[in-house]
Structure 1
């Protein structure tokens, strides 16, 4: 490989020198001092060091807010041994869940009857409505009332043209009739759902005596497809139905008469809010939660409290108090000193918004921090912060109600738009900070803002960051959209599809990295997107395999192969390995990058892919053949064979310290021999490998050489 290739393979982002990096204009178009290097953790963007995709991914998990448990929500492995993800698709809705839903479901019966008649005749129904209005519950109830024996869920990212193929043939079904639900179809812009797709699916549904309900949002891409508009029942009726199902008619009436219920229903409520409030009332009935706590924990009380902190009439809170509140919302559950420090940074920007000529400083010493926290219903405690050197004990601060940060940021962003220029500038600074915690929280904050106002978040922060000359800002843009997807912001995959084929190489890079991060949840879609991106690059530039954008593709393959979806990714990569030369090159490069990772990124830890191979052997899974197949392809490819031998050498040195790694290598090495040339190459490697420190070859190498020749 040439020098440029070797350098590029170590990059986590495109060349930061391609465009000069400038700060965005300050809130009032007047100069603002940067505040010195402390606001950037001592590092300017132009001096940023490259960052591996694994490390960037690890930082997102280590420093995510407590309300966004990235590892739990995404079920993604972040640098640890990959665990096989269940491959059963489509998933079946448990009968118990359907029965529970039927007990509390309410809707206009005339509307349900019309939809039932339509579904019986057409076999397919497309139900359109806003998110979180109960349309998926309605879809399940339609199938339940048809008396289906089983309800199966299709993947939301099902390509419309392959819709019929997602429906098993009649002879494979044990229980009939069967119902299918496809919730919130997310078809790519260029592949709308058409009537021909429904007609094809309808034929198969009739053959197997089955029904399909597809739910879509108003922004879904449809072409000539008839839809039924879903209108949710009043929130009061839904709440009453939930309570009657769990407590009985008389008790439900008593609960509905509580003053806090009237307060709750006084504002528009989503179906998920209603269900959560019904559970809260049930806990009150069981004396787990007193009525006053119900009142305080209701969304209305929280919204009122947050609003009171920022109204002009409330003179008990200074601008500094409010800047600290915002910083605490961003760093909730994080180090108190960081929230206080960066709250002061935000205060300077807010002061400049109120009075651009202001030269007033800020008090170095103020009220006791315990008093400040008590006023905003927050607490101080000892905890640990993740760092590159291990956990470090810190004094932490968090709101007592974990919903407060999201509600507070929503109120500031949507209720006080004059604060936006300062917030945008402040978050821009945070995204370039030298501390991973600060950068990650900036990304998570933008994600929470995007849930309330996606267009503004995209225009003011995400897109400018993604096209920035700063690698840190590009990574922050990727992190923002990853977090946004996890908190339920719509259209993230559509943004990825758009960026992936646009003209801006930085946006293309961001799209590819996002596919690597989100791919474990939708591996088939992620791999299809990566292949589409590669085709678009090579169509414009035949030398695309040499570009930084295609190195980003290899990094995404690396991320996917160290995730819980690794088995499915490996199977797909092996199947398409020889489709074309660029795809083969990216597959093998990404595979070898994955092979370099060890458990917890410990240089002496077991290689993740080698441990994966050992488990696959024990379980007799497909990866036991797939991993050697990619190894043989890498060793036979002149462009990556030298790198492959280097990785094997590192594995042998690790095996010299690890009995489990040696056992796995003993099984793997013989499977890499398909020709006499392969045998000579591996024998030479084992005979000439130097031990660490330059000593003679390790004893393990001799044992592996013996095993190689006697297998």
Structure 2
């Protein structure tokens, strides 16, 4: 499939007629955006909350390690030899992945086998494989990469009492296996190199089996799950749990079971086991825990180990020249669409693949293979899993096949590594993110903002210059919303200076930046109530300057109303009340926003007050103050009475709303004029849709004080 057929960027060719020169990809999104109506504020917030990665909304999104302001860490993945800095001390580690030491062909040291036997933990398939090895002299283990298949192979032979084991070369042709057998009683062949044109066949095993009988030998072959086999039934290998492996290693290191239980109860150990780790990582971590028990390590170093393993895995992926560019594109796309539908990650990975090919070789036309690896293989490579989950759409909940990394820290680590560690990939990545931001699917647009937010947390100046400011100054509202979402999420991730940026942009000469900042406040404050005062002051400062047209004033009203839709409503109402004595334009904004929040059907103030249990004068006063101000203000009296009528209709439908309004009305009828206005409203209120007057209105009359 060529780039012309794929959703790839336009390439310079031989046009039939002159055409205008298009602006760069990231600028065309700004210039060509139509002046459409902005998305309704609550709908925009709902879209953000539905589709942004879940971890961003946790109470604390802090993340340590080298990519986010911490020390460089790194012990993980495959094989790591040499000095590794582990949060304050330098140690020398030699850990091995599933392939183990590089024995091309030769005898495996007996001390290695005995050392493994001291810590080996069996899993379910082990007994089945042992029975088959004992009966047939040869067994084939298949399983995922880095699941301990080599260790299992050695231990299967060890269980038969075999102490001399010879490793065979993985490049041995299947037909030549028989000829490679030596005099050793045990043989292992790990990750035999196979292909569709060179499969391992049943007759190959029969030839090896005959030779093993003659030599009284046994052999274990390990293969990847997808290895090419013909007529062979392997034993599928599944590793033991990380907790079981860690316990076995600690038992070997510290001996006493009580000490093992004490160490397993440590907070960093529990945290380590709460994430998905491969077996060599567990092995290395056990040594760190044992060092801590001996007094030569700290809890901080234990906590750093888990983060370090994630960072090292990511660095190995992108430093591995054997891993294809398409695979790396998929890893990046999966990081963007972690816990999102797998088809999105796969589809959009190929768009990124095209852009990265152009970066690597601009003279070559990019190509995308029509067919590629199976889903299971791609997820296995990414240390990810897939499952079915319901996704929120405009048509309701629909089932989707969702993919996620087994360790929820991988996505952010991976994106930050690509952004900060591989600057040559930035041009393609930026163009790709801009394309995602223009996609018609809400989940894609939201993930573009979430990705930009993670990059902002890692490198704010670059992300502002290359992504956010271009969106924020766009003519259209859709890119501005992406900028607002990005700033909101990046603040949740701990990006520096976001409140200052929003405050400055509220006063910016560019109306698009002002729009973006106010919308970002509306999204952020319900999640971070401590920003309420700053948000209101920034918006008020802009209103005091004047010069806003009706569209901008309406935007300010809708966004300020959204501040009252979540979080600490009473505190926000109190902050809002402080601006009622401000300049007339600010007072008008506050009252209009308050009434908008009162009439909101979704997350409205009446629903909140009905559930609120504080019926003390001070508790009611925060809501009553703006109500009285709106009812008494000549420019807002009509709108306030309409909003209050909607509350009475709600009270007629819901007893809890009636109880809340019964508690509120006395605080609204402070003067005789107040009481008369409310009494007239309740006595003359018509029924909804031509029906009879609401019965609740008569009952609410009795709540008014007699004056």
TM-score if structure 1 supplies the norm length? 0.59
The equivalent of 1:325 in structure 2 is: 331
Structure 1 residues 417 and 532: CA distance shift in structure 2, 3 A: closer
- Does residue 406 of the first structure (1) align with residue 406 of the second (2)? no
Please give the secondary structure, in 1, of the residue aligned with 2:501.
Answer: helix
Q: 2:51 matched to which residue of 1?
A: 63
Confirm or deny: 8 A CA contact 1:381 1:395 kept in the other structure. yes
Match in the other structure for 2:690: 694
Determine if contact 1:328/1:398 at 8 Å carries over to the other structure: yes
**Residue 310, structure 1, aligned to residue 322, structure 2:** no
Secondary structure of the equivalent of 1:464?
A: helix
Instruction: List runs of 5+ in structure 1 lacking aligned partners.
Output: 1-24, 75-129, 134-232, 240-253, 259-277, 602-606
**Whole-Å separation in 2 of the counterparts to 1:234 and 1:338:** 37
1:454 aligned to which of 454, 457, 460: 460
Structure 2 equivalent of residue 346 of structure 1 = 352
Deviations along 1:606-638, one digit per CA (max 9) or x if unpaired, are x74224434556441623012122111111223
Q: Does 1:646 align with 2:646?
A: no
**Paired residues of 2:387 and 2:401 also in contact (CA < 8 A):** yes
Q: Shift of the alpha carbon at 1:442?
A: 1.0
CA distance in 1 between partners of 2:367 and 2:271 (Å)? 49
* SS of residue matched to 1:401: coil
Structure 1 residues 381 and 489 mapped into 2: Cα distance closer, same or farther (>3 Å)? Answer: same
Counterparts in 2 of 1:358-373, with a 5 A limit? 358-359=364-365, 361-373=367-379
1:571–1:623: 8 Å Cα contact kept in structure 2? no
Tell me how far 1:464 sits from its aligned partner: 0.7
Give, in angstroms, the shift of residue 594 of structure 1. 1.6
Q: C-alpha displacement at 1:531, in angstroms?
A: 2.6
Matched-pair contact (CA < 8 Å) for 1:284–1:291: no
Indicate the SS of the match to 1:697: coil
Paired residue for 1:392, among 387, 393, 398? 398
Distance 2:37 2:395 in 1: 17
Structure 2 distance, partners of 1:496, 1:512, is: 8
**Contact (CA 8 Å) 1:531, 1:583: kept in 2 or not?**
no
Shift of the alpha carbon at 1:549? 4.0
In structure 2, the residue corresponding to 1:469 is in which secondary structure?
coil
Between the two proteins, the alignment pairs up a number of residues equal to 480
Q: Distance in 1 between matches of 2:307 and 2:10?
A: 32
Counterpart for residue 421 of structure 2: 415
Aligned positions of 1:615-634 closer than 5 A: 618-620=614-616, 622-634=618-630
Give the C-alpha shift of residue 234 in structure 1. 9.3
Quote how far apart the aligned CAs of 1:385 are: 1.8
Distance 1:644 1:365, change over 3 A: farther
Give 1:707 deviation, angstroms.
Answer: 4.7
1:343-396 deviation line (CA, Å, top 9, x unaligned): 233233333334446555533433221121112211111122233454332211
Q: CA deviation at 1:548?
A: 4.0
| Structure 1 residues 295 and 391: alpha-carbon distance in aligned structure 2, compared to 1, 3 A threshold | farther
CA distance, structure 2, for counterparts of residue 410 and residue 698 of structure 1 = 59
The alpha carbon displacement at 1:661 in A equals: 1.1
Q: Quickly say closer, same or farther: Cα 1:378–1:569, change in 2 above 3 A.
A: same
Residue 386 (structure 2) aligned to one of 371, 380, 383: 380
Q: Distance in 2 between matches of 1:392 and 1:564?
A: 29
| Deviation digits for residues 618-668 of structure 1 (CA, Å, limit 9, x no counterpart) | 441623012122111111223222222222222222222211112222333
- Secondary structure of the 2:525 match is helix
| Structure 2 spans left out of the alignment, 5+ residues | 1-7, 14-20, 62-67, 72-84, 92-248, 254-265, 286-304
SS of alignment partner, residue 582 of structure 2: coil
Distance in 2 of aligned mates of 1:587 and 1:285? 50
Q: 2:282 pairs with 293, 304, 320, which one?
A: 293
Give the Å deviation of 1:238.
11
Could you say if the C-alpha distance between residues 587 and 71 of structure 1 is closer, same or farther in structure 2, counting changes exceeding 3 Å?
farther
Mapped pair 1:661 → 2:649? no
Cα deviation, 1:112-133, whole Å, max 9, x if unaligned, reads xxxxxxxxxxxxxxxxxx9668
* Residue of structure 2 aligned with 1:439, choices 439, 445, 448: 445
Q: Which gives a bigger RCO, structure 1 or 2 (Cα 8 Å, sep 6+)? A: 1
Give distance in 2, aligned partners of 1:708 and 1:430: 56
Q: Does 1:582 align with 2:585?
A: yes
Q: 1:371 to 1:521 in 2, by over 3 A?
A: closer
Q: Which of 38, 41, 54 is 1:50 aligned to?
A: 38
Mapped to 1, the partners of 2:326 and 2:580 lie a distance apart of 58
3-state SS of the aligned residue for 1:393? strand
CA contact (8 A) 2:35 2:477 kept: no
Rounded Cα–Cα distance in structure 2 between residues aligned with 1:573 and 1:284: 45
The equivalent residue for 1:235 is: 87
User: In structure 2, the residue corresponding to 1:577 is in which secondary structure?
Assistant: coil
- Write the deviation string for residues 86-135 of structure 1: whole angstroms up to 9, x where unpaired: xxxxxxxxxxxxxxxxxxxxxxxxxxxxxxxxxxxxxxxxxxxx9668xx
Q: What's the offset of the Cα at 1:305?
A: 2.9
Q: 1:32 & 1:324 partners in 2: Cα distance?
A: 29
Indicate how the Cα distance of structure 1 residues 597 and 294 shifts in structure 2: closer, same or farther if over 3 A, else same.
farther
Q: How far apart, CA to CA, are the structure 1 residues paired with 2:411 and 2:647?
A: 46
How far did 1:285 drift? 11
Structure 2 counterparts to residues 507-522 of structure 1, below 5 A: 507-519=513-525
Cα distance in 2 for partners of 1:292, 1:570 equals 51
Q: What is the SS of the residue equivalent to 2:407?
A: coil
Q: 1:347 to 1:32 in 2, by over 3 A?
A: farther
Secondary structure of the residue aligned to 2:38 is: coil
Describe the SS at the equivalent of 1:456.
Answer: helix
